[in-house]
Amino acid sequence: MAGTPGLFTRRAALKLLEAVLRRGETLEQAEGWALRDVRKQPDRALARAIASEALRWLADFDALIDSATKKPLPDDAKPRMVLRLMLAQWLRLETPPHAVIATGLPLLAGGPRRLAHGVFSTLTKKGVALPEAPTLSEAVAGRWGDRVSAIAVGLADPPPLDLTLRDASATQDWANRLGAESYLPGHLRLSRGEAVEKIAGFKEGAWWVQDLAASLPARLLGQGEGRHVFDLCAAPGGKTLQLAMAGWNVTALDLSKRRLGLLKDNLKRTGLKASPVRADALEWEPKHQFDAILLDAPCTATGTCRRHPDVLHRIGPRQIEEMVDLQRALLDRAVQWLKPGGTLIYAVCSLEREEGEKQAAAVKLEPAPIVTEELPEGIEPGPEGWLRTHPGMMPGRGGLDGFFIARWIKN
């Protein structure tokens, strides 16, 4: 077994899948220990891809498995886990069935290998196929309501790679150089596949990775002209870099030492300036008020489901409620720290109304509605002047992360 090529990679994928579905860990949390026996970067990437596709299409894989068994397997049964990975490789990663069997069945050593082999063989002989878009669980569909079908379309494939340029005036030059599309000045969209560190411009800090939707909150503050902005919950720093690039005097606060380290690394790489502060925003007090505050609040991150499909299975009412309480406390403090006449932007990378629309409705400041001219083509604000994006937007162009963004002025 140990000598089977690719077995360690599949075993790592199984560990990732079990970490998410059995223990509620994120894929990122599980990678440190689950991938420790997988040394080569392509093999590590493959393990992540197998687990991610299993999570992305979980309901559909389970329906196929159930169609080929007399009695349904328990949700957390190891044969079901392994079959999910086997189907992900065959139906999503186009791995030949014989290779899937050779690396999948050894994961059930001492267990019901004949069962798994029989189920997989039945499905391959039938030539089964997946729907055009993943089927989302009843719990997720219940929360997302009439948006769920459109969102699901955007989850069918992993997202492309978005970059934000340090020099927006060089957008066309970089687009030509990298063979990229651009949907706003300073934005580039590339196909997936190449390691970020190997893309031209990385070492010299010409750009940073940032989903197009994630770049919108900072864009909506406009040019800083030396004014003071507070980037609350700032790490890993994409919005801090944007604000510094736009001429703001940036104070960037975050509680996480590790994530704040990433922010400092990004500042060093790009040559942009900001003032990082490590502190708990619920206890810290500034020495002065700010001309603008950007609160990209901690959230359930369900809007990142196309690149982090684990959120489709980890997040429920308890996690949402915890985030709502924290967001409300941070909003209250942000309002206190804002100068009269200052601008507040609230954003979350969540698809949950409790974290977005319901939070915005409780803010007692003068609305500063977001307008169409500030947004990428094809993206429109809602009637309240708030912005809601989701993965199914911009069809044919790669979609967007799910974000909620609102803006106000303090009188």
Q: Which residues are catalytic?
A: 349
Identify the residue whose tokens are 């915890």.
322
Distance CA(238)–CA(269), nearest Å, equals 12
**3-class DSSP state of 58:** helix
Give the residue ranges of DSSP H helices in 70-135.
78-87, 97-104, 113-126
Distance CA(89)–CA(94), nearest Å, equals 6
Cβ-based neighbour number of residue 138 at 10 Å: 9
Distance CA(200)–CA(206), nearest Å, equals 9
Q: Token digits for 124?
A: 């391959």
**3-class DSSP state of 354:** coil
Contact 244, 208 (CB under 8 A): no
Cβ-based neighbour number of residue 36 at 10 Å: 10
Q: Token digits for 386?
A: 């708030």
Distance CA(47)–CA(186), nearest Å, equals 33
**3-class DSSP state of 409:** strand
Q: Is the dihedral of CA 54, 355, 282, 410 positive or negative?
A: positive
